[in-house]
Structure 1
Amino acid sequence: MADERYVPGLENVVASETSISYLDVEGEEIVLRGYDLIELAGCVAYIDVAGLLLGGSLPDPEHRAAIERGLQSEYGIPEAVYDMLGRLPKGAHRMDVLRTGISALASYDGELDDPSEEANGRKALRLLAKVPQLVANSHRLLQGQPILEPRGDLSYSGNFLYMLTGREPDALEERLFDQSLIAYSEHEMPNSTFAARVIASTMSDMYGAVAGAVASLKGNLHGGANEAVMEMLSEAETAEELEAIMLGKLARKERIMGFGHRVYMRKADPRALLMKEALSKLAAAKGRQDLYDICAAGEAVMKREKNLYPNLDYYAAPVYALLGIPVPLFTPVFLAARTAGLCAHVIEQHARNRLFRPRVRYTGPRGLQP
């Protein structure tokens, strides 16, 4: 007989065993294969974290160089894919465009239906190489701008930011952007990762699982929150104006994006603190202390009024704005960063698979006669 316990939203239900990551809420630590994510962000680059997530250990210099060579060898998007994306409506949501692009890329992968760990690892590398190009260049195409190819003289994160903004980043911009990618790289079992694992549990391919995660991440209750945060911040020129906007939203019982988290609840998201520090550095370098002060004021309002703390999206949004990243690309950038974590979960799911097949509690009528 099925266990009919009903947990709305599956809150605190353990759905998988994993060696990839864990949110230690009590210890205020995000564990990535034994390492503290925040500590990693302070001493290694995103490419190292991607290697850790996909390979199980931090790469040594020789392995790191091999990963970089592998990524560079997989750069490049088929012209037919770009041609198709360029024909989409200019106002298409960029996550819809990205989902379409990832689905199209699947057709060009000769190992698409090979679920072995070795083949999945190679597919993960291809996705890591190509997703940033899809994010940046599909937007450029729909804006009527020429595509930008990755440059051999730039790092992985430097290339991504270059393609997003059309200019070579300075050292501070590149490092802070890299830290944001680490912050977004993996976060245990949010909706999008669960969606990817559910799809992978049917033994569907990695591209399909990642495309499903894109659809999940689009929602403003998940990844789309960073765009909503920036839209709110853009309405205020002073801390006082932002406070008035927030108080108005609260009075109307509207949800304010960028605050609260299903897991952290009444604790600070460690990644938000990382990005708050990044915003402080970037604001100082660009003469935008006003933006930092406005964001800090908004944080104080929500702590005072609702006892809620900011999550990663609240401070990542203004960091991306100061880096010159177009707002419609905030969520696609999130997905690009999360690609390493998503692929790690697909590899793990395929390696020891169990099809997800939950039951329901039926609340409809019975015994009706036709």
Structure 2
Amino acid sequence: MTLPKGLAGVVVDQTKISSTKNAILTYAGYRIEDLASAPFEEVVYLLWYGRLPAAEDLHTFTRTLVGHMTLPDETLRLMNEIAKEPQHPMSILRTTVSLLGTTNNVKRDDPPTILGKMLTAIAAIIRIRDGKPLLRAQPDWSVAKNFLYLFSGNTPTDDQAAMFNTVMVLHAEHEFNASTFTARVVASTQSDYYSCLTAAVCALKGPLHGGANERVFNMLETIRAQELAPAEYLKQELAAGHKVMGFGHRIYKNGDPRAKILRGIAEKLADQTGNQDYYDLQATLADFMLKNKHLHPNVDYYTALIYHCLGLDKATFTMLFAACRTAGWLAHILEQQREGCLIRPSSEYVGPTNQHYLENRRHQNDTQQDHIQFG
């Protein structure tokens, strides 16, 4: 029995939500390059319902999502205690998502309600950690503009809202990645939405998945703080066998289409916020990795700089990823629950065989007595 490690390239199920076939990312058949400037709400509608909404439906859907960008008082009271704990923000989010599933009348919570709550909860964690007051969503703004406002406290310009909208769209969905597959496994048991999302957050926290963006910025800070030569730093890391975060992708061997779009946003935001040095450093590192290792930047690489330019603490970067990816997680939870099939794969056992309990136990007892007597 020979299977690739990590199930690389193994098709485990079918989906109508998204595809990375031939290294082309599509949402419900639409290329990501075409959707990059579409309203986040329209993309969410597409992922959940498999079609683009009519203008009137989009307006109603947007108002519905924004209308749910609020949290019950009891949830906020508990969050004010949880978010102040000296834990990693993703650990705080893990507990918060579980909390969302136990406060208020959660049996009536549908995907629009849950997405609105998730976005608001993540913004609230950021604000509470920074000791800043919580804000209210503006009913006439888009979801992306509201979310940016809720965690930053600044009224976004139309240009800033448009760029952040693109960031949210690019992170909304990505086929059977680790966190999405985790959510689908839980959904296959017919468990509730919040249990599925809690499991997805746990998977996203890992540095080989969503946590990679934080480690990308750690690298940039280290190089700048120690005034290292970028090429020498990379040579040392590679020689030591360390993985350089933000480069390479299991699917996109010739470049992540999301990274190509995000690079322009990172460059523009870096210029606007006085972070040009960081962008220039990223460009230098990317050139070295392509020339010497034939590796392209992935989605995490430029996202790290974008989130920094938005004023975020690097420890909260992965929570922003979770905020966007909740749209895709919910799409997959819905699809898996409709499928009604329990995910329960088999494994190939490669351990010892023909073991005999009583015989081995007697042997261990005899050995122990000998050790006591003669040891």
Say whether the fold is shared (TM-score over 0.5).
yes
Instruction: Tell me the TM-score normalised to structure 1 length.
Output: 0.91
2:212 is aligned to 225
State the Cα deviation string for residues 316-367 of structure 1 (Å, max 9, x = none): 1111111222222211111110111111111111111211111111122222
Alignment of 1:274-285 (within 5 A): 274-285=261-272
Q: Matched residues in 2 for 1:169 and 1:100: separation?
A: 30
1:5 Cα shift?
A: 4.6
- Counterpart AA for 1:197: R
1:53 is aligned to 47
Of 118, 123, 132, which residue of structure 2 is paired with 1:136?
123
Q: Matched residues in 1 for 2:105 and 2:74: separation?
A: 17
2:91 is aligned to 96
1:70 is aligned to 64
Mapped contact 1:135–1:329 kept (Cα < 8 A): no
The structure with the larger Rg is 2
1:267 is aligned to 254
1:353 is aligned to 340
Mapped contact 1:195–1:216 kept (Cα < 8 A): yes
1:109 Cα shift?
A: 6.1
Deviates more, 1:242-251 or 1:342-351: 242-251
Q: Matched residues in 2 for 1:307 and 1:350: separation?
A: 40
Alignment of 1:202-351 (within 5 A): 202-237=189-224, 241-264=229-252, 266-351=253-338
Q: Matched residues in 2 for 1:109 and 1:212: separation?
A: 21
Q: Once superposed, which parts of structure 1, at least 4 consecutive aligned residues long, lie more than 6 Å away?
A: none
- Relative to structure 1, is the Cα distance of residues 15 and 141 closer, same or farther in structure 2, using a 3 angstrom cutoff? same
What's the secondary structure of 1:236's corresponding residue?
helix
1:186 is aligned to 173
Of 72, 83, 88, which residue of structure 1 is paired with 2:77?
83
Mapped contact 2:179–2:200 kept (Cα < 8 A): yes
Q: Matched residues in 1 for 2:223 and 2:44: separation?
A: 37
- Counterpart AA for 2:11: V
What's the secondary structure of 2:340's corresponding residue?
coil
1:17 Cα shift?
A: 0.6
1:147 is aligned to 134
Deviates more, 1:207-216 or 1:103-112: 103-112
- Relative to structure 1, is the Cα distance of residues 73 and 164 closer, same or farther in structure 2, using a 3 angstrom cutoff? closer
Deviates more, 1:305-314 or 1:63-72: 63-72
Question: Across the two proteins, how many residue pairs are aligned to each other?
Answer: 355
Mapped contact 2:74–2:103 kept (Cα < 8 A): no
Q: Matched residues in 2 for 1:215 and 1:260: separation?
A: 23
- Counterpart AA for 2:51: S
Mapped contact 2:186–2:199 kept (Cα < 8 A): yes
Q: Matched residues in 1 for 2:72 and 2:220: separation?
A: 38
1:237 Cα shift?
A: 3.5
What's the secondary structure of 2:110's corresponding residue?
helix
State the Cα deviation string for residues 237-273 of structure 1 (Å, max 9, x = none): 4996333322221121111110111112x21000000
Q: Matched residues in 2 for 1:107 and 1:288: separation?
A: 42
State the Cα deviation string for residues 156-210 of structure 1 (Å, max 9, x = none): 1111111221211222221111111111000111000100000000111111111
Mapped contact 1:299–1:309 kept (Cα < 8 A): yes
What's the secondary structure of 2:347's corresponding residue?
coil
Unaligned runs of 5+ in 2: 359-375
Q: Matched residues in 2 for 1:291 and 1:251: separation?
A: 24
- Relative to structure 1, is the Cα distance of residues 137 and 331 closer, same or farther in structure 2, using a 3 angstrom cutoff? same
Higher RCO structure, 1 or 2 (CA under 8 Å, sep 6+): 1
Unaligned runs of 5+ in 1: 113-118
1:214 Cα shift?
A: 0.3
What's the secondary structure of 2:56's corresponding residue?
helix
Q: Matched residues in 1 for 2:215 and 2:229: separation?
A: 17
Q: Matched residues in 1 for 2:104 and 2:196: separation?
A: 15
Instruction: Tell me the TM-score normalised to structure 2 length.
Output: 0.89
Q: Matched residues in 2 for 1:235 and 1:170: separation?
A: 32
What's the secondary structure of 2:25's corresponding residue?
strand
- Counterpart AA for 2:178: N
1:116 is aligned to none
State the Cα deviation string for residues 54-101 of structure 1 (Å, max 9, x = none): 121112221111112212332221222222232235321111111211
Of 8, 11, 36, which residue of structure 2 is paired with 1:11?
8
Q: Matched residues in 2 for 1:164 and 1:73: separation?
A: 17
